[in-house]
Structure 1
Amino acid sequence: MTTLSVSQLSTLRWDLESEVIAYAKHGFSGIGLYRPKLEDYGVDRAIELLAEHSMAVTSLSWVGGFTGSDGRTYEDAVQDAIKAVIQAAELNADTLIVLAGGKNNHIQTHLRRTLCQALCRLAAVACEHGIQLALEPYHPGCGDEWSFVNDLQSTLDIIERVGNPALGLVLDTYHVGMDEGAMHWLPDVAPHIHLVQLGDGRHCPHGEMNRCLLGDGCVPLGRLMEMLHEQGYRGAWEVELIGEDVETIGYEQLLDHTKRYLDRTFAGLC
């Protein structure tokens, strides 16, 4: 059965208990956990809550920043990521999302080398704990400070350099779906996709992320989902909705619209 999930970033003002109850009520069986909200609620309490409602953890977000762009040292970022791998295992999470970090005035060769060194260390620990790492390419229009990895081609190159099956990618349709070139890379990256995040936008990302309701933007979601299905993707589909275009919409309405959209879309894939 397909796991339909919602990222906690989509309902940022709710606490974890409210989210789990509402997601289940609207027919979602998974949740993408956001580490700051998880820490606020408490990991042990969260494990009990998720088990009580049979809610799968499709992702834990995020670790990374290995380039020092967020003010941490390389070693601090690596140790934080290792801690998150162990936490993901305790939560029985499917994936741990990784952001590379911004350029931070480094040259490209140094950035790639630093990231690959960190990912090699992290993937070794992930293998021991049965956790999938998912490197996320970020659109440069809204994510330069978060990641210097901006497209599927460069993401695939890093995955191949690391060469550990624990490392794959998360394909977020908001970040890559408006690029026609991404369609051509789907057959190559499909075997490495650990998670698909669904997002839509009315225009190309610029500045802060501004996602809209699924189907209301210019991302060819139906086509992308059909291609991913044809390429054999059978993992979770996690929705992430955040930005000015959705912040005035009530969360109950947002969840209702999202579930109805996904039901219609998946009916067409069967």
Structure 2
Amino acid sequence: MTVKQLSMPELVDACGELGVTNVGLWREPVQAHGLEATAKLVRDAGLTVTTLCRGGFLTAVDPGERAKALADNRRAVDEAAALGTEVLVLVSGGLPAGSKDLRGARERIADALGELGPYAESHGVRLAIEPLHPMFASDRCVVSTLAQALDLAERFPAHQVGVTVDTYHIWWDDTAPAQIARAGAGGRIHTFQLADWTTPLPEGVLNGRGQIGDGSIDMREWKGYVEAAGYTGAIEVELFNDGLWARDGREVLAETARRFVAHAM
């Protein structure tokens, strides 16, 4: 998604030129290129798909909408398995229209995980609940902190449900380092993502993630937390940024690789 202006073949080619061997994929560009074609493309290029994003949006009250969401998440699990990744990232969903019941929405997420966890396990896929910054709680994700994500995940086996640690969403939370340790102790850090926080935020807040090194987050500090918690997996950079998307994608990818070395290594 950091370089969504690149087609799937262009992305794979650019990764090869830079020596990038891991890539996190989103469902929409995978579906645009074709699931089987994408799986073959990355496999032939020697790329490892670290995660697939995203499943989730599990807070619906209406039975029909809930059934549709569960079916879509099962498809997402199938897609992750086809791509050879073990991790499906979940953005849980916001409040249903007209609702003010955060607690009820979170319980519906737990109910859905009870159905999806075993299905994911049977396909060799783990679910990774991603807490999003509280500014997204109403419309996108009622899970706002790592503590809330872990309270949900810990109802299920770690090989079924864990968490996503994303610097952009949790850097402000002074309890997050302890929660990272908690997640690590339980084997529940399923992926770790970097993005910086820059101000002022753009009008379209969703696309306000800053290039690493441009904002307020100490990437090495957060990398240290997850490493101390025992995480040894891939580190993703996931940027939603209109300015970056307007540039040449290969240049952005090369810049991102340089920034990762400069600010996270």
Task: Flag whether TM exceeds 0.5 (same fold).
Answer: yes
1: CA distance, partners of 2:136 / 2:100: 19
1:136 match: 130
* Structure 1 range deviating more: 233-242 or 257-266: 257-266
Deviation of 1:142 after TM superposition, in Å, equals 4.0
Specify the alignment match of 2:105 in structure 1: 111
Q: 1:263 to 1:249 in 2, by over 3 A?
A: same
Quote the residue 2:250 is aligned against: 252
Tell me if the contact between 2:181 and 2:228 (Cα under 8 Å) persists in the aligned partners. no
1:50 offset after TM fit, Å?
0.8
Aligned partner letter, 1:180: D
- Aligned residue number for residue 208 of structure 2: 210
Q: 2:259 is matched with which residue?
A: 261
Which residue is equivalent to 1:219?
217
* 1:73 corresponds to: 65
Native 8 Å contact 2:5 2:245 kept in 1: no
Q: What are the equivalent positions in structure 2 for 1:43-122 lying under 5 Å apart?
A: 43-68=35-60, 73-104=65-96, 105-122=99-116
Q: How far did 1:199 drift?
A: 0.7
Deviation at 1:184, TM superposition (A): 2.9
Equivalents in 1 of 2:12, 2:138: separation in Å?
Answer: 32
Question: Structure 2: how far apart are the matches of 1:253 and 1:225?
Answer: 25
| Aligned partner letter, 1:216 | D
SS of the aligned residue for 1:162 comes to: coil
CA shift digits 1:151-176 (9 cap, x unpaired): 01101100112345310011111111
Instruction: Determine the C-alpha separation between the residues in 1 that align with 2:120 and 2:201.
Output: 32
> Residue 145 in 1 paired to residue 143 in 2?
no
Aligned match of 2:174: 180
Matching residue within 17, 27, 32 for 2:24 = 32
Sequence identity percentage: 27
| Contact 1:215/1:261 (8 A) holds in 2 | yes
Match of 1:197 among 181, 185, 193: 193
Q: Which runs of 5+ in 2 are unaligned?
A: none
What do the CA deviations read for 1:196-247 (whole angstroms, capped 9, x no partner)? 1111121386833311211111012110012211221101111111224534
Q: Is the 8 A contact 1:178 1:218 kept in 2?
A: no
TM-score by length of 2: 0.90
How big is the alpha-carbon RMSD for the aligned residues of Structure 1 and Structure 2? 2.2
Name the counterpart of 1:10. 2
Match of 1:243 among 241, 244, 250: 241
* Alignment gaps of 5+ in structure 1: 1-8
Q: Deviations over 1:106-125 (max 9, x none)?
A: 52332122111111111101
Of the structure 1 ranges 245-254 and 193-202, higher mean CA displacement relative to structure 2 is found in 245-254
Give 1:34 deviation, angstroms: 1.2
Give the length in aligned residue pairs: 259
**Preserved contact between residue 135 and residue 169 of structure 1 (Cα < 8 Å):** yes
Give the C-alpha shift of residue 27 in structure 1.
2.1
Counterpart Cα distance in 2 of 1:27 and 1:72? 46
CA distance in 2, matches of 1:222, 1:42: 36
Amino acid across the alignment from 1:136: E
